[in-house]
Amino acid sequence: MKEPRIDLMRFPGGLSKALTFSYDDGVLQDKRLLAILNRNGLKGTFNLGSAVLGKIERNAFGGAVDISKVAPGEVAELYAGHEVAGHGLFHSSLTGIGSGAALYEIIEDRKRLEDLTGGLVRGFAYPFGVFDEDVKQMLKYAGYEYARIVPTTGTFAIPNDFYEWSGTAHHNDPNLMQLAHDFFEGDKRMAFHPQLFYLWGHAYEFDQHDNWNVIEDFADYAGQFGESTWFATNIEICDYVKSFRKLIYSADASHIYNPTCTTLWLANRFDVYKIEPGETVTIKE
């Protein structure tokens, strides 16, 4: 037997890069952020605590920053084309309230967000970034496919454990534009490996720090690379990667079977190819 050839994942269309955003709390500033993303064709995920939607708040940061939430009735239209994800019903710390209340925060938020959007809600961001193994299990039982944590990696890695999904950077990272440049226009040899740029934050922070230019500059720059980058929501990326990980290989890796309902893309040094749902391909030497 010859040495098996290693073919790497490609995103839909054979692309090696994906970009996604994750913004928390459903604050009014999401409207301005969404306008910036939409005009650049970018996609993101918005993590909402459904019980606090519509709440008027100016208390944080000495009353200087408006952290009021969008109204429940606005959710479906405002976030159309993006992902609405769970963030805990009341945004409670899920490890400090007992398992019963934690379960309720998790499942009732999902139910209410599904009622508001008319769609399936399958993503989550941990309130305050707090979680443990029990909370991860609760999310799985409640039908969530992934959950975002707070620490960032500074890399373009794709997570092994989607219930501890780290972003690449928070938007206040002083290296943000350098990271973006490395990602979109950096070493082409690195582009052989699939890469994900994942940016997160809270839209009220742009008011708090008076730095809307940070996200405007980032989005205007990233938006130019739509031909080489998959602009996707968190759940679209999670679903695709999980499907890819279900590919079944023969013992010598010469045959690959796609048991999923998703067209899956791969690449080697010579070409980019796809495997249709239900298809088995033979790898040529």
Binding residues for Zn ion, per CB under 5 A? 24-25
Choose among 198, 206, 183: nearest CA to 35: 206
Residue of this chain nearest to Zn ion (CB atom)? 24
CA 222 – CA 216 distance, rounded (Å): 10
Give Cα separations from 121 to 33, 107, 128, 223 (angstroms).
21, 10, 20, 26
Residue whose CB is less far from Zn ion, 24 or 205: 24
Residue whose CB is less far from Zn ion, 25 or 205: 25
Question: E strands, 74-180, where?
Answer: 83-86, 148-152, 165-167, 169-170
Geometric angle at alpha carbon 139, from 138 and 145, rounded to 5°: 150
User: The tokens of 268 are what?
Assistant: 């080697």
Residue whose CB is less far from Zn ion, 94 or 267: 94
DSSP 8-state symbol, 74: G
Smallest gap from Cβ 24 to Zn ion, in A, equals 4
Smallest gap from Cβ 61 to Zn ion, in A, equals 14
Residue whose CB is less far from Zn ion, 25 or 207: 25
Smallest gap from Cβ 262 to Zn ion, in A, equals 31
Smallest gap from Cβ 183 to Zn ion, in A, equals 26
Smallest gap from Cβ 123 to Zn ion, in A, equals 14
Residue with tokens 């809307």: 212
CA 16 – CA 192 distance, rounded (Å): 7
Please, what's the largest Cα pairwise distance for the chain? 69
User: The tokens of 245 are what?
Assistant: 């990980």
Is residue 38 packed enough to be buried (19+ CB in 10 Å), middle (13-18) or exposed (0-12)? middle
Residue whose CB is less far from Zn ion, 25 or 105: 25
Give bridge partners of residue 86 from the DSSP assignment.
Answer: 48, 124
* Helix/strand/coil for 89: coil
Smallest gap from Cβ 25 to Zn ion, in A, equals 4
Residue whose CB is less far from Zn ion, 170 or 193: 170
Smallest gap from Cβ 87 to Zn ion, in A, equals 6
Residue whose CB is less far from Zn ion, 7 or 25: 25
